[in-house]
Structure 1
Amino acid sequence: MKRIGVDVGGTFTDLYYSDDESRTGFVEKVPSTPEDPSIAVVDGLKRLVAKAGITLAEVDQVVHGTTVATNTALTHKGAEVGMITTEGFRDILHIARHKKPHNFSLQQDLPWQTHPLVKRRHRLTVNERITAPYGDVLRALDEDEVRDRVLELKAAGVEAIAVCLLHSYLNPVHEQRIGEIVREEFPEAYLSLSSDIVPLYREYERFSTTALNAYVGPRVSRYLTRLQNEIESLGYEREILLMQSSGGMVPINEAAKRPVSLMMSGPVGGLIGGLWAGEQSGFENIVTLDIGGTSADIGVAYQGELRMRHLLDTKIGDYQAMIPMVDIDTIGAGGGSIAYVDQGGVYRVGPQSAGADPGPVCYNRGGEEPTSTDAQLLLGRLRPERMLAGSGIDLRPDLSKAAMQKVADQLDMSVEEAALGALQLQKYGMTQAIEENSVRRGYDPRDFTLVAAGGAGGLFACEIASELEVPNVLVPANPGIIAALGLLATDERYEFVSTVRFPLADADCPSLQASYEELEATANAQLDTENVTPERRKLQRLADARYEGQGYEIRFDVPDGEINDAWLAEAEARFHAAHEEEYGHRFSHSAVELINIRVEATAVMTELPAVKPTTQASLEDALLETRDVTFDVSGKPATIATPFYDREKLAIGQSFEGPAIVEQYDATTVVPPGFGVTIDEAGNMVIACPANEASAEDLATPILMRVIGGALNSAAKEMASVLFRMAYSSIIRESEDLGAGLFDVDGNVLAESDSTPMFMGSMPKIVKGVISELGDNINEGDIILHNDPYLGATHSPDVAIIKPIFYQGQLVGFSGASGQLIDNGGAH
């Protein structure tokens, strides 16, 4: 099978060709064309197939990762959208949820109101009503009124229409009929029905997701149609596949209907590619650092599994998008990040970027402000005579020096110090971002391997790994196009869902069986359209459930086969186990409410082959030259004679010590002094980081303190999160009216959740009130209830639960939570 992955970044478009039979691979990079990304994609495909010696007609599959949907939403450049909704629900998108973006800000705009997906004058209502829980029609749809509303929106000049009716997830008949009328009266409008996009209950999240789909839809669908037509003109006769935010692929026609599912399409490929490379070298716990020209994407995979965000935590910028999404963070740090001195005299790098045009100053394309790439060039880490991959650009260090000199003069330092300072600032920002994604969530980075990905990942990875005490850096065979490679290392995947909402014990087994079989039939029909053979098909039943009265459900696997009493008992047992695994507790005697049923359909793809180096060259053969390179030694620039090696000539088993620079077509890797490099059996470059020397008396290292601090903060936030998710009280769910934290033996704060501001400062007083009242009469195993306003900052409706923490029989601290009476036990 011949496959091509295409990932469009802010600066470069990366392509990877894989031939499963010959086990060969080819890479290509071309400058991105932000004004029309399809131009770069088509140009790259032409170059890639020419390099591989084939035609595009011979290719079996093209998989694409795109940021068009994301950029449209983040830059607020989407379509003019109209909405048709149930009478009385016009302002759902304006009201949103009670929670504000920043709990501790007294002066803030609400972004969904400042930049609405649908302007209020374009939100129109119709007189209809579907009721819960069975989807009965209470008030029939007035079709004449619907036609008037559609024509009104057409006259207003909207490009897209979102149809969001109350309880349409239970009965879509009114939404579907409105859709038919829109197609009759306004066929050129881009149409999004909530019952098609996200047929789940919770009207705000459903409305927001559907409106977001309509907002980005016209631009995305135009781009995808243009791209498909361009590629077909080159001889490719199959549908392009698009990477989704969930880590699975869908055909281009499905993606055009549901572009909201593409929001993390680009970054996901980098994490999957890093995970694939880690598996080849035997590393299950990986952190990917995918640095391109504009941004850096950071993801964590623990024990070989992608981490997914909770459906209620999935946002794109300021907008709620209730779609499956891999957990990835993106920061504005890349090769094109601009170095400057702000008005306050502070040295900064990014998030502003020179992008692909004009690019860094050294590109000689009109850029005037120095960038990260200019700094790398000035420090000797990039050779000016080596053309930038895919661009044909000769790098001009003289231009970089002149631009950096202006910054250096403002800071009263040398050009080298200014260049090194720019990289130190970027390194610090990326280190902090990785900590946010690992340390502060309770993961110890010393148990992980850092995968250097993207064209600039290898320039920073070793120094960042040293800061975090990560033991190894993994540089894949083709790090610069790892996101394009990752697009070929996943399966084609669809998910079909239906809201049911009834107590599991009261389930009508034949009816539930029919509902699952209907979803399975839809799933198989979708796979039929893709000509997926039976041996490649995989269907999995899932469900979302909660204890009756809770506000948030959890997702879990349910059994296959006939649904009967034994099936219900097994499903309930699996839910209890999933709830305990998620929250540390189960309510075995509480009724379980089934909310959504799901069927995940997978078309299993051929395993991506690893292309191993075949060279038998010696290390001397791989040596390009030795030249001076400036490194960061104790925060100061130190210039050292450094060998440059050609990655293509580094044979399996080859090893050497830093300092060194390793060059290859799509990336450059900086190996600082003291780091050891080995080319492993998979052809990956594994760099061992030197161990930090510490005496037995000096165990409280900065990284250990950050790990402990991160674990404490993570625990406090998780306590609050558990309360939100398990809450029976809407006060806690909607306004986060709770406090949770960890405290030392005297009641001082060690870590506290950032929930309702009124609880900040009150929790330690509550704990100290317990200490003052009970004194030495605090014993292991005690659970202390407290709602006395005179022994802490609380009021009687809020009940605090304080749990003393003992270690080896000695009291070492307390955990505590306070909130509405029925809910605050979950944090413990």
Structure 2
Amino acid sequence: MIRIGVDVGGTFTDLILVDEVKQKIHVYKIPSTLEDQSIGVINGIKKLCENAEIPISEIDYILHGTTVATNITIENNGATVGMLTTKNYRDILHLARHKKVENFSIQQDLPWQSNPLVLRRHRLPILEKLAAPDGHIRTELNEKEVREAVLKLKEAKVESIIICFLFSFLNDVHEKRAKEIVKEMWPEVQCFTSAEVVPQMREYERFSTTAMNAYVAPKVNHYIDNLVNSLDVAGVKAELHIMQSSGGMSTTEMAAVRPVTLLKSDPAGGVLAAAWWGELEGVNDIISVDIGGTSADISIIPNNMPKMINPRDAEVNGYPVLVPMIDVETIGAGGGSIAYVDTGGAFRVGPKSAGANPGPACYGLGGKDACVTDANVILGRLDPEQFLGGDIQLSRESSVKAIEETLCSQLNMSVEEAALGILKVINNNMALSIRANSVRKGIDPREYAILAAGGAGPLHSVDLAETVGSNLVMVPNYPGITAATGLLVGDLKYDFIKSRIVPLSQPTTETISTINNDLQELIHSAHTQLMQDGIQPEDISMERIAECRYVGQGFELRVPIPEGQLEEATLSMIAGRFHDIHLIEYGHSFPENTVELITLRVISTGQTPTLKLPELASGERMNPEKAVMYVRETVFEVDGEIRWLQTPRYDRTKLLANDIVMGPAIIVQRDSTTLVPPEWQATVSTNGTLFVAPKVIQGGAAQHVNQFFLKVR
């Protein structure tokens, strides 16, 4: 079986090919084509297959992480959406929750008002009404008004339509009928109902999620269709799966129906890879730092389990979206981040990026701004002739010129001082994000290893580790394409949900029977979908979850449902587990309060082949001469002074298991460069992972891990 993982970033498109028959792995990076991401994807696949000497027609699976949906929300260039909603409730999307990020500011921007996903003139009221708590019909749907509204939206030339009626999560009969009328009158328009997209309680969040789904759908579907057609023209016969925000893969058909699930497709792969590498090497607690050309994705991964965002906090650019999302923080810190002096005289780096074109000044594509990559080139940490295996020749002269013209005169610094300052600022920005996502949540980053991912991750992660107090950095085999590698360890995964609002204390026989029936329906739907996707029954697993709260509480917490049929004792057990989870989450619980079931969720997983790394032969060499490429001066800050030190370059492909490289050193590979400062050392595990740690830790890779754990304990 031959599988390819493709991750499209803001600067580079990363690819990895795994030939499981020949047990060979090939990697490739190519500049992203942001005007049409599919061009870079196709070109990268062709070049990767050429390098691997594999006919493109023999690929079995292409696993894809994309930023298409994310970019639409950032650039505010989604579809014009029309909305049919319950009469007197057309302004739910405008009013939201009357919550502000800054409670006392009257000048802050509220995106749902300044840039609404659906303009008010396109939100048309329809006479109909359902009633809680069971969704019974209070007022029949006025089909005449639906038809009139469709004509108005067609005349307004909207590109997609959403149907969001009150209490449709309890009964979707009116939404279904309204959609039938829309498709009858306007077959070619994309139409989504809120009960299809997210059948959950909370009108505003449900409406917002459905609106976001319709907002990104036309462009996402166009991209998917274009990619599928381009692959077909290129002779690719492989199945195409796409990464979702939840960390699970999806078929193209499911992604087209619910493109809102792709909003964090790109960073999810990197988090999965970090968790997988930690488990592979026996390091349970990981801080994943994936630094690319445009941004850095930071995620805290305790016990090798990626954390999911609490639904109350799930949002994209200020718009709430009720879809499962891996907890990952993205900040504007990458190789293309631009350094500048602001109007107040402060030295800043990012979040604006030079991207892939023109890119940093050293790319020689017309860029004039000083970027992080320029700083690394000037300091000798990136060798111009080694960048991307020599495919892109960097210009040190252009980097020097950019920094001199934009920074040196304003800051009264030498070129080296300004370049080192760029790295200090960008590293401090990332360290602040790490602390905000760890210390603020009761996690001590000193007890976590840092996994250096992304093309720029291994260049910065040791400095980050020193700043946050960690003493172990892991550099995976292919750090520059970590997110693409994560696609190869992700399984097909879907969430199926149904709202069922009942108290768990003293349930009636009818209530227990209803809940059991709901779960069976969800499991049947999930099983059917995975079978349609080609998953064998033995590779299917189901996780049953009850989302519960105390009666009157604002938000729910997830509670695992025990196996088997539910009984009164089982519901009591779920309530008990909820108290425990509430105590962990908030620091207190109220065992005397009634627990209420709000939503039933079934997470279905279809297991797919995982990644297998060949073991390295044992070398057990100290600073192996056979791996040295050459020696070149590199800038380090030693005892507060800038010093040029003779620094050997090692070819990573020639390092063997348990080899030790003492700093200062630079370890070079096609997709990334690892910096080992003077007071640090690197060693290689049998799986090929680099462990970088302070020189006070002795021995090989296993000792690095063991002594790391001894220190944190």
TM-score, with structure 2 as normaliser = 0.94
Give aligned-pair identity as a percent.
47
Q: Tell me the secondary structure at the aligned position of residue 118 of structure 2.
A: coil
Report the equivalent of 2:375. Answer: 375
Query: Are 1:549 and 2:552 an aligned pair?
Result: yes
Report the equivalent of 2:400. Answer: 401
Contact 1:617 1:649 in 2 (8 A): no
Query: Are 1:212 and 2:215 an aligned pair?
Result: no
Q: Tell me the secondary structure at the aligned position of residue 230 of structure 1.
A: helix
Equivalence map 1:317-716=2 (5 Å) = 317-389=317-389, 392-406=391-405, 407-504=407-504, 505-507=506-508, 508=510, 509-614=512-617, 619-689=624-694
Q: Tell me the secondary structure at the aligned position of residue 367 of structure 1.
A: coil
Which amino acid is the alignment partner of residue 654 of structure 1?
Answer: D
Report the equivalent of 2:34. Answer: 34
Q: Tell me the secondary structure at the aligned position of residue 523 of structure 2.
A: helix
Contact 1:493 1:600 in 2 (8 A): yes
Which moves more between the two structures, 56-65 or 644-653? 56-65
Cα distance in 1 for partners of 2:641, 2:83 equals 59
Contact 1:646 1:663 in 2 (8 A): yes
What is the deviation of 1:411?
1.6
Report the equivalent of 1:166. Answer: 166
Cα offsets for 1:330-375 (capped at 9, x unmatched): 1111111112222222222111111000111111111111111111
Aligned residues between the structures: 692
Q: CA separation of 1:49/1:117 partners in 2, compared to 1, >3 Å: closer, same or farther?
A: same
Q: CA separation of 1:131/1:56 partners in 2, compared to 1, >3 Å: closer, same or farther?
A: farther
Which moves more between the two structures, 17-26 or 119-128? 17-26
Cα distance in 1 for partners of 2:583, 2:438 equals 23
What is the deviation of 1:518?
1.0
Cα distance in 2 for partners of 1:582, 1:395 equals 49
Report the equivalent of 1:20. Answer: 20
Q: Tell me the secondary structure at the aligned position of residue 485 of structure 2.
A: helix
Cα distance in 1 for partners of 2:513, 2:412 equals 78
Report the equivalent of 1:144. Answer: 144
Report the RMSD for the aligned CA atoms in angstroms.
1.8
Contact 2:500 2:597 in 1 (8 A): yes
Cα distance in 2 for partners of 1:21, 1:104 equals 62
Which moves more between the two structures, 326-335 or 507-516? 507-516
Report the equivalent of 2:701. Answer: none
Equivalence map 1:258-337=2 (5 Å) = 258-337=258-337
What is the deviation of 1:196?
0.5
Q: Tell me the secondary structure at the aligned position of residue 306 of structure 1.
A: coil
Cα offsets for 1:612-644 (capped at 9, x unmatched): 445869611110111110112344421111111
Q: Tell me the secondary structure at the aligned position of residue 175 of structure 1.
A: helix
Q: Tell me the secondary structure at the aligned position of residue 270 of structure 1.
A: helix
Contact 2:141 2:174 in 1 (8 A): yes
Which moves more between the two structures, 633-642 or 115-124? 633-642
Cα distance in 2 for partners of 1:649, 1:661 equals 13
Which amino acid is the alignment partner of residue 605 of structure 1?
Answer: T
Contact 1:625 1:644 in 2 (8 A): yes
Equivalence map 1:693-772=2 (5 Å) = none
Cα distance in 2 for partners of 1:617, 1:302 equals 31
Q: CA separation of 1:594/1:387 partners in 2, compared to 1, >3 Å: closer, same or farther?
A: closer
Cα offsets for 1:208-246 (capped at 9, x unmatched): 000011111111111011111111223333441111111
Contact 2:60 2:237 in 1 (8 A): no
Q: CA separation of 1:572/1:469 partners in 2, compared to 1, >3 Å: closer, same or farther?
A: closer
Q: CA separation of 1:576/1:430 partners in 2, compared to 1, >3 Å: closer, same or farther?
A: closer
Cα distance in 1 for partners of 2:156, 2:615 equals 59
| Runs of at least 5 residues in structure 1 that lack an aligned partner in the other structure | 693-706, 708-828
Cα offsets for 1:74-109 (capped at 9, x unmatched): 221111111110001100000001220213534322
Cα offsets for 1:639-685 (capped at 9, x unmatched): 11111111101111100210011100100111111101111122100
Cα distance in 1 for partners of 2:176, 2:498 equals 16
Which moves more between the two structures, 55-64 or 362-371? 55-64
Contact 1:474 1:685 in 2 (8 A): yes
Report the equivalent of 1:753. Answer: none
What is the deviation of 1:560?
2.7
Cα distance in 2 for partners of 1:446, 1:341 equals 33
Contact 2:289 2:297 in 1 (8 A): yes
What is the deviation of 1:601?
0.9
Contact 1:242 1:252 in 2 (8 A): yes
Cα offsets for 1:237-282 (capped at 9, x unmatched): 3441111111111101111111111111101111111121222221
| Runs of at least 5 residues in structure 2 that lack an aligned partner in the other structure | 698-711
Cα offsets for 1:47-79 (capped at 9, x unmatched): 112222222332222111111111111221111
Contact 1:558 1:574 in 2 (8 A): no
Q: CA separation of 1:617/1:227 partners in 2, compared to 1, >3 Å: closer, same or farther?
A: farther
Which amino acid is the alignment partner of residue 624 of structure 1?
Answer: M
Q: CA separation of 1:52/1:615 partners in 2, compared to 1, >3 Å: closer, same or farther?
A: farther
Q: Tell me the secondary structure at the aligned position of residue 386 of structure 1.
A: helix
What is the deviation of 1:197?
0.5
Which amino acid is the alignment partner of residue 41 of structure 1?
Answer: V
What is the deviation of 1:566?
3.5
Q: Tell me the secondary structure at the aligned position of residue 240 of structure 1.
A: strand
Q: Tell me the secondary structure at the aligned position of residue 388 of structure 2.
A: coil
Report the equivalent of 2:95. Answer: 95
Cα distance in 2 for partners of 1:513, 1:484 equals 39
Contact 2:60 2:239 in 1 (8 A): no
**Greater C-alpha Rg:** 1
Which amino acid is the alignment partner of residue 666 of structure 1?
Answer: D
TM-score, with structure 1 as normaliser = 0.81
Cα offsets for 1:489-528 (capped at 9, x unmatched): 1211111000011122335222222111111111111012
Contact 1:479 1:667 in 2 (8 A): yes
Q: Tell me the secondary structure at the aligned position of residue 385 of structure 1.
A: helix
Contact 1:473 1:689 in 2 (8 A): no
Q: CA separation of 1:423/1:585 partners in 2, compared to 1, >3 Å: closer, same or farther?
A: closer
Q: CA separation of 1:104/1:19 partners in 2, compared to 1, >3 Å: closer, same or farther?
A: farther
Contact 1:86 1:128 in 2 (8 A): yes
Q: Tell me the secondary structure at the aligned position of residue 303 of structure 1.
A: helix
What is the deviation of 1:309?
1.1
Equivalence map 1:121-140=2 (5 Å) = 121-140=121-140
Cα distance in 2 for partners of 1:90, 1:502 equals 29
Contact 1:494 1:602 in 2 (8 A): yes
What is the deviation of 1:431?
1.1
Cα distance in 2 for partners of 1:57, 1:689 equals 47
